[in-house]
Structure 1
């Protein structure tokens, strides 16, 4: 997880990370990354592949946000992350889906009736 623009431009980030469960967070400064890439050139490929994967995920999420209905996004979320609704507060899921918590509640009720 990172703000690639902030990392690349060395500018303040518009994003932040909030963990909802215990985790281990590793941080890498831009200078440390550059030194590491010079010392271990094969890591250049790894970082390139990570960036390509990230771009693909962002593109897919953007397309779904634009072209899917809220219900389709919710069902896709449940399919992709089946255990998350039991572990995460509804307002976080709603935010991820780009809808209000109230609207998510309506979608959940509609889905359960089916």
Structure 2
């Protein structure tokens, strides 16, 4: 047991550089949940580009009855697009906040980019 622990400690301390490779995601699906409490923390989805002229498409799935948060656009490297689920017609983040429409179900998104 002590020998294994010593070897593990030696490997951890001996590693001076760690290399990782990979590509950014160009397609993913995500559920953005609403706030649990009314504490004024606005729930959002953030898309960040790592390359210039990145075309993105955020598709608001209509399973909850609305597609008001769908967006498309182009970003430069390092720029981010912030989408708040409380904006754009139906507030999916707060109960009774959409002009009498009872919503508090969050949103399900499909995000695509090039």
Would you call these one fold, judging by a TM-score over 0.5? no
Greater percentage in strand: 2
Bin of the TM-score, shorter chain as denominator length: under 0.3
**Relative contact order (alpha carbons < 8 A, sep ≥ 6): 1 or 2 greater?**
2
More helix by share: 1
TM-score, normalised via structure 1 length: 0.20
Q: Give the TM-score of the pair, scaled to structure 2.
A: 0.20
Q: State which structure, 1 or 2, has the greater radius of gyration over its C-alpha atoms.
A: 2
